[in-house]
Amino acid sequence: MDRKQIVIIGGSKGIGKSIVEEFISKDCNVIFSYCKSESDALATIENCKNDDVIVKAHYLDVTSKDSIQTFVEFVEHNCSKVHGIIYCTGIVNDQAMILMEDDSFEEVLLTNLHGCFYVIKSLLPIVDMKSGASIVIISSTGGIRPDAGQTNYAASKAGMIGLMESMAREFAEKKIRVNAVAPGFIETDMVNMENPKIQKSIAQIPMKRLGRTEEVAKAVYFLYSDDASYITAQTLVVDGGRL
């Protein structure tokens, strides 16, 4: 059985970790990147519940072209063709626009938008264009209807949606589908449920709860899978009806 080879950018924590686990559960071989914590990445591999698949991790700084090249070489060494790319890394540094430092604006754009472009562009030569492939970009509802005080984040996430739509039309004839998932408020280890701001956010959600990381992961897998074989250039919102 030829297993699908999936590359997940940002897979050691939060939504990215759940995406890794979802693809593993579907018998895919996975290579994922980490940036800050090798121990988290190793723990994800250690907790892999499917002994039939291959799961590997490698360091990647998406703001460094040298690091991107090293990561791509690692992928090439470990699989001949890539069938799926998931871009799920990003940073948040909210601040009122008038107070925002240039470095803060540029760092968020470099990681969220520029990194997405350069990583996917660098991986394209090893994407399987013969049998078909799928790319899913994790954007955010903040790129569709942003809140105040997040001009850098909103610009980066809206840019990722525009990047996705243009890529989808460019690569459709090459059998590569490109879509995005836009999560709303999602419960992760970093979310303090006792925080009044979190409770206020929950009150704005028709379903009256935060989303779960595994719910985002299942949306990602759907867009990757053959069940979405005629879907491209689309953004799937996962936000409990808030938008």
What gap in Å lies between CA 59 and CA 13, rounded to an integer?
A: 14
**Helix %, strand %, coil % for the chain, to 5?**
45, 20, 35
State the catalytic residue, choosing from 34, 87, 153, 221.
Answer: 153
Tokens 């800050």 sit at which residue? 36
Residues 243/145, Cβ–Cβ less than 8 Å: yes
What gap in Å lies between CA 158 and CA 160, rounded to an integer?
A: 5
Tokens 């078909």 sit at which residue? 132
Q: Does the active-site annotation cover 153? A: yes
What gap in Å lies between CA 183 and CA 164, rounded to an integer?
A: 15
Cite the active site residues: 153
